[in-house]
Amino acid sequence: MVNRWIIGLTSGSSGASVEATLLEIEGAGLDLQTRSVQTVQVPIARDLRQLLQRIGGLPTPNFVPIAEKEKSRAGVGEAGEAVQTEVKQVSLLHRLLGETFAAAARHVTDRAGFSAQKIQCLGYPGHTIWHGPEGRFPSTLPVGMAAVVAERTGITTVSDFQSRDMAAGGQGAPVAALVDYLLFRHPEESRIMLHLGGMAGVVFLPAAGRVQEVLGFEAGPCNRFLDGLIAQLTGGRETFDPGGKHAVQGRCIESLLEQWLGVAYLKRRPPKSLPPHGLAEDLILQAVHLAREGRCQLHDLVCTATHFVARSISQSCQRFLPLNRAPCRVLLSGGGVRNGFLWHLLEQQFAPLPLSKTIGIPPEARKSTSAGVLAALTVDGVPANLPSVTGAQGARLLGSITPGSPGNWARCLAWMAAQTAPPTMNDE
């Protein structure tokens, strides 16, 4: 079978870095097999990170929720100037993030000692600064110019995977559930895939199950909540809880935990995805208010928040996954795997099921690997969203394609033309 090489690009939920993974892919469509060749992390420049935090609504010391910003605008003239300035800043962020992702793509090929001319295409979802899955007109907005990435690398870039699913009536997340099915399913062992990123993503892969039986949803806030809380409570001196060192020194405040576990989103049935703006910030503001009143200490609040993340995940799995087909293993990925205290709490919640990191793909590279595989499926002509997960009205080809150099684009066109009858989900 023909081998090809693809790069996946993603950003961390904290906006601290971007990640690039070089993949070797054998086969095509639903028969493809993937091997991770090289992964690199590239820090986002400080000034750009601050701009991303401000525009993207990431919790920072003394952050003001978007609703409060709107209320503070005085008159029509001032509001117009503010909007104009904000649009300019978003446009600048869009361009500069594109440059940063392009640099990461070049860096991963250099690190692997691999020629960029051999790369078929690049998967690039961008950095989401807005995701609103509810209401009359659901929308999502990733930033990071795909044209810049294609221009700087010469590689055809497949970007913005969520929008097409959302246009088809889906939540736009978890949009990479099919990738999990291709990479991690097992003929005898059911698996729960937990991605501990900004949000806690859940994908259920039944043993020997068909792709139509895959389930998934976003369980609730994860690192966005924990990191934002640390940033607030330490005045920005720390931006995350390394290994859970603060949380492990505290005690869980049961009354506060039960209050948090009562939020409506956690009880809502899938399909569902969580807007990055809203729930996490509300919980952080509650915690900061308690701290300022002297009613709770930092360690206790972070401990309670970590318990909340673990409990919200386990309760969601108990509520919404088919327990009559009990999974045998829980596979974890994302930055949260480095939080030893969170891992310990998840072990308690899921016992006796064993927990382990993702098999075959480094847990920190699951997200960028998914971006690369989504790009491969697009150029293979295979619809990649799963209606059983996102609630879309049907399976769709995902992403927008930006041609690379003339030679690279010609090779992509030739590949796409050769994929006349790829296997589809309906053939399963």
Closest CA to 21 of 143, 119, 140: 119
- Is the distance from CB of 278 to CB of 224 less than 8 angstroms? no
- 263: number of CA atoms within 13 Å, CB side? 21
Residues 356 and 371 in one domain: no
- Classify the C-alpha dihedral 416-21-346-57 as positive or negative: negative
Cβ within 8 Å of residue 303, ≥6 positions away = 246, 247, 248, 249, 250, 251, 252, 253, 341
DSSP string, 191-234: EEEEEESSEEEEEEE-TT--GGG-EEEEEEE-HHHHHHHHHHHT
Could you tell me if 133 and 225 lie in one domain?
Answer: no
DSSP bridge partners of 119:
5
Helix, strand, or coil (residue 329): strand
Residues 306 and 352 in one domain: yes
Domain's final residue, options 337, 363, 389: 363
Would you state the pLDDT for residue 213?
95
Domain extent for 348:
186-363
Distance CA 333, CA 351 (A): 18
Structure tokens, 345: 């709490």
If asked whether residues 358 and 384 sit together in one domain, one would say: no
Q: What is the pLDDT of residue 58?
A: 59
* Residue 149 · residue 99 · CB < 8 Å: no
Q: Are residues 414 and 357 in the same domain?
A: no
* 291-348: pLDDT as tens digits: 999 889 999 999 999 999 999 999 999 999 997 766 789 999 999 999 999 999 999 9
Tally the domains of the chain. Answer: 2
pLDDT tens digits, one per residue of 277-295: 779 999 999 999 999 998 8
201 half-sphere exposure, CB direction, 13 A CA radius: 24
Structure tokens at 227: 């990191």
Average of pLDDT values for 393-399?
97
pLDDT bin (cut points 50, 70, 90) of residue 36 is: very high
